[in-house]
């Protein structure tokens, strides 16, 4: 009887917390709070976003979401070292930001750090629960360049399943290349 009452109290406690919104992370709350910055970012007004973020981050330096936005702005402005710096700051606060890992991977790619890019792409895929088509696509490209065709094929197949059109093209190209290579060896 005591066990049943403890379970009943625990379920009630969880239900109340969910109804009150205590399950939301600080990043989720910041995303809602700074919707205007997201809109400015979509309109490619990076300098205005960066100016607003300076004030916000001086008051709230523990906002992983704001650091991630700052990294995204610097990526768009092709300031890759800054992108990595601010992405790291965001990920040190909240490690569960798949898009930030992806931005860091793109910055690493542009700087020629393919090993670092591959590591960040793997983290993107992991934290997005294998739902990030762009990460699979870029991973496939890196594996293709490294001539690891089986793994590249798998990455392109996953990206295609997530409806990435360019990955489908690369997948067909890779399959034709593998078929042509096998025919030429015979």
Q: What is the DSSP string of 160-179?
A: HHTT-HHHHHHHHHHHHHHH
pLDDT-based confidence at residue 154 (cuts at 50, 70, 90): very high
**What is the pLDDT, as a whole number, of residue 130?**
94
pLDDT-based confidence at residue 23 (cuts at 50, 70, 90): low
**What is the pLDDT, as a whole number, of residue 114?**
96
Phi, psi of 20 (to 5 degrees): -85, -10
Q: pTM of the full predicted structure?
A: 0.83
**Residue 180 in this model has a pLDDT that exceeds 70:** no
Please check whether the domain covering 26-111 is classified as CATH 3.30.200.210.
no
Across residues 35-54, what is the average pLDDT?
95
Across residues 23-46, what is the average pLDDT?
89
> Nearest-CA neighbor of 64 among 40, 15, 39, 99?
99
**Rounded-to-integer distance, Cα 128 and Cα 155, Å:** 15
pLDDT-based confidence at residue 184 (cuts at 50, 70, 90): very low
**Residue 75 in this model has a pLDDT that exceeds 60:** yes
**Rounded-to-integer distance, Cα 142 and Cα 107, Å:** 14
**Rounded-to-integer distance, Cα 40 and Cα 44, Å:** 6
């Amino acid at each position: 009887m005591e066990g049943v009452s403890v379970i009943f109290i625990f379920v009630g406690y969880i239900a109340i917390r969910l109804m009150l919104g205590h399950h939301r992370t600080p990043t989720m709350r910041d995303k809602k709070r700074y919707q205007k910055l997201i809109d400015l970012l979509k309109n490619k007004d990076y300098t205005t976003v960066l100016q607003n973020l300076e004030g916000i981050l001086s008051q709230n330096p523990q906002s992983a979401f704001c650091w991630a936005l700052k990294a995204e702005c610097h990526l768009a402005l092709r300031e890759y070292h800054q992108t990595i710096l601010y992405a790291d700051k965001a990920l040190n606060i909240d490690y569960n930001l798949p898009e930030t890992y992806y931005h860091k991977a793109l910055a690493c790619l542009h700087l020629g750090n393919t090993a670092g890019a591959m590591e960040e792409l793997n983290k993107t895929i992991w934290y997005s629960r294998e739902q990030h088509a762009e990460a699979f696509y870029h991973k496939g490209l890196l594996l293709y360049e490294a001539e690891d065709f089986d793994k590249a094929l798998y990455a392109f197949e996953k990206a295609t399943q997530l409806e990435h059109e360019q990955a489908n093209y690369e997948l067909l190209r890779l399959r034709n290349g593998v078929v042509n290579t096998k025919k030429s060896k015979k």
